[in-house]
């Protein structure tokens, strides 16, 4: 939210930026803080169904419903049209949220997202803990599997650094690209030499992403001018 330097262009475009947490806080579950890819550092923006996570680790519903409802109630935001974007695990969350709820999210983009979590170590660990061993349940939270059968109407923008240390092992943008071809969806996947998985990468292209959202939401913004 701070290091990306997004506020200036967002202000120029008349956009409200809302940055969410990655998980619930203060639950003191055993081992909740032991790993950076599970628990307080990595809720994976899904609704957990396996104990002890099931009651509180419901970041999917929080991002899709609870947080937007709060923002739209207390701030001068249009309550009909929304965009969503994120980085890495947050990119996974943005894609999954939009693809699962196309009527609520009218623009989406991501930086170096985890595109096929059911097939990579980060996702396999999170899904097993949060959703259980039945991999059929994982499909509802995998962006590539969702996109392959999606009717999402908007353009999807993805930026990926080719020097990203997690590219082949964890991110798998090729899987998302194949899914877009299968479903005939509009995916703009941009690959960049010399960029990694860091804030400098995000800083370099954050303006493009906000402009992308502004274009996608243009009709929606005009409909809300009177607010």
pLDDT (tens digit per residue) in 168-206: 999 999 999 999 999 999 999 999 999 999 999 999 999
pLDDT (tens digit per residue) in 116-160: 999 999 999 999 999 999 999 999 999 999 999 998 999 999 999
- Higher-confidence position of 68 and 27: 68
Catalytic residues, by residue number, are: 88, 164, 197
Mean of the per-residue pLDDT values of the chain: 93
pLDDT, mean of residues 203-227: 81
Domain locations in the chain as residue ranges: 7-223
Query: What is d(CA 78, CA 212) in angstroms, rounded to the nearest whole number?
Result: 18
Say yes or no to pLDDT of 223 above 60.
Answer: no
CA-wise closest residue to 141 among 175, 102, 99, 108: 99
CATH architecture of the domain formed by 7-223 = 3-Layer(aba) Sandwich (3.40)
- Higher-confidence position of 32 and 192: 192
């Amino acid at each position: 939210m701070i290091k990306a330097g997004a506020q200036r262009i967002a202000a120029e475009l008349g956009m409200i930026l809302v940055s969410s947490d990655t998980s619930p806080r203060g639950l003191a579950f055993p081992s909740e803080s032991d790993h950076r890819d599970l628990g307080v550092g990595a809720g994976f923006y899904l609704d957990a169904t396996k104990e002890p996570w099931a009651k509180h680790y419901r970041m999917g519903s929080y991002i899709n419903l609870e947080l937007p409802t709060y923002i739209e109630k207390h701030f001068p935001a249009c309550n009909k049209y929304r965009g969503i974007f994120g980085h890495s695990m947050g990119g996974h969350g943005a894609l999954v949220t939009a693809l699962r709820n196309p009527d609520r999210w009218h623009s989406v983009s991501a930086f170096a997202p985890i595109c096929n979590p059911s097939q990579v170590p980060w996702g396999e660990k999170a899904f097993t803990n949060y959703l259980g061993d039945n991999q059929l349940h994982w499909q509802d939270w995998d962006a590539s599997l969702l996109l392959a059968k999606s009717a999402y109407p908007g353009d999807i923008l993805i930026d990926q650094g080719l020097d990203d240390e997690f590219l082949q092992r964890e991110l798998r943008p090729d899987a998302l690209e194949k899914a877009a071809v299968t479903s005939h969806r509009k995916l703009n996947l941009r690959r960049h030499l010399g960029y990694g998985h860091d804030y400098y990468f995000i800083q370099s292209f954050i303006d493009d992403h906000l402009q992308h959202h502004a274009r996608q939401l243009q009709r929606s913004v005009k409909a809300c001018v009177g607010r």
